[in-house]
Structure formats: C-alpha cells, structure tokens
C-alpha cells in the first residue's frame, strides 16, 4: 500500500467570521500544493483575501464586508 499526502484545504470563514460562507467555498488547491501556505497562495491567485486575525475570505464574501 502506498500513502500519498492529500494536502490541505482552506475554507472561507464567511462574511462576518461568525457564520459559514453562503457558497461553502474552499480554495481550489493545485496538485502540487501540500501546505496551508501553498494553498493560500493558490487562493490569492483566484481572488481570495486574508483579513486581520487570519480570516480567509472567498471573493464573494470579501466584497460583502
């Protein structure tokens, strides 16, 4: 049996940080992304932002804040 790392997934923290993202959004990671830092870089290319306190927001939620 061979084990392969599936990497990590970064999910949107929602528009207020106290609720879920209405789209249930997650960063589409590249096949080579293995760490949270790499996946977040993938998200920034797709329009994701990081708010103070480390809140990850998809493009839709970033516009509504």
The confidence score (pLDDT) of residue 2 equals 61
Residue 30 binned pLDDT confidence (cut-offs 50, 70, 90): confident
- As a whole number of angstroms, the distance between CA 7 and CA 48 comes to 18
What letter does residue 64 receive in the DSSP assignment? T
pLDDT (0 to 100) of residue 38: 87
Q: Please say if the pLDDT value at position 34 is more than 70.
A: yes
């Amino acid at each position: 049996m061979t084990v392969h790392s599936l990497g990590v997934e970064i999910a949107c923290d929602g528009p207020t940080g106290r609720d879920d993202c209405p789209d249930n959004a997650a960063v589409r990671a590249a096949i080579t992304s293995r760490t949270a830092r790499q996946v977040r870089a993938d998200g920034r290319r797709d329009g994701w932002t990081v708010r103070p306190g480390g809140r990850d927001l998809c493009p839709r939620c970033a516009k509504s804040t």
